[in-house]
Amino acid sequence: MARLHLFDLDGTLLHGTTAPLEISRQLGLVAETMALEQAISAGLIGPPEYAAQVHALWTRLTEEHVAAAFEGAPWLARIREVWAEIRSRGEYCAVVSLSPSFFVEKLVAWGAHAAHGSRFPALPFTEPVDPAGVLSARAKVLIADRLCGRFGVTRDDCVAYGDSLSDMDLFAAVPVSVAVNADRRLTGLATHSYMGRDLWDAYELVRHAR
């Protein structure tokens, strides 16, 4: 039976950072975005409020900024090799992230079968963020279920990779999970744990796991 590998983005595929931080770095707005990261981590704001506030910061954001952020980001090593291996085994890989879809979806070009993020308006922004399009921890599970239907697998065939509390619901929903450079709260829920900067080594932990 094929498996579906579900990857978080921020802090997982990206080492020690998030897509919004890397985007804001291109605009000289790291401190402002870091404050928002701390607020959402502390539970002071939720994903819709976070999305609205980063959207308000990114008034000058262009596709060129996003491309530069993507290309210059500190990715884990061997992401494309892992996804090529997964594909060669007849299995599936997808990215599900709370970060903006215009950044997340670039990973399809690296070999992901699917990539889902929070929906933002087209760049440059002329419209507000629709809160209904902003993902949450629970939404990750709903998207995973839709992907299972698309690829003809079930939750029992899924492997989740993540690093933070936004991955807790998904880790609880699937039988195999890898905490990647994660804090203790998530490590305690995972079936496997990895610290490092090479995705192949994290994947190797569950390559044959069922």
Categorize the per-residue pLDDT at 172 as very low, low, confident or very high, splitting at 50, 70 and 90.
very high
- Residue 210 confidence (pLDDT): 65
C-alpha distances in Å from residue 97, one per residue of 18, 28, 88, 170:
10, 23, 24, 12
Average pLDDT over residues 112-119: 98
pLDDT band at 14 (very low <50, low <70, confident <90, very high): very high
Q: Could you give the C-alpha distances from 145 to 91, 96, 163, 185, 199, in angstroms and in order? A: 16, 12, 20, 24, 24
What is the average pLDDT across 93-97?
A: 98
Give pLDDT, residue 88: 97
| Count of CB atoms situated within 10 Å of the CB of 210 | 10
Q: pLDDT by residue (tens digit) across 192-201?
A: 999 999 999 9
Name the residue with tokens 């080492």: 15
Instruction: Read off the DSSP letter of residue 193.
Output: E
Chain segment 142-167, per-residue pLDDT in tens: 999 999 999 999 999 999 999 998 99
CB-side exposure of 99: number of CA atoms within 13 Å? Answer: 30
d(CA 108, CA 193): 25
What's the rounded Cα separation, in Å, for the pair 27 and 36? 15
Cis amide bond preceding 124, omega within 30: yes
Write down all domains in the chain, each with its CATH number in brackets.
4-15+75-204 (3.40.50.1000)
Model confidence band, residue 174 (pLDDT cutoffs 50, 70, 90): very high
Q: What is the pLDDT of residue 209?
A: 76
pLDDT digits (tens, 9 = 90+) for 22-45: 999 999 999 999 999 999 989 999
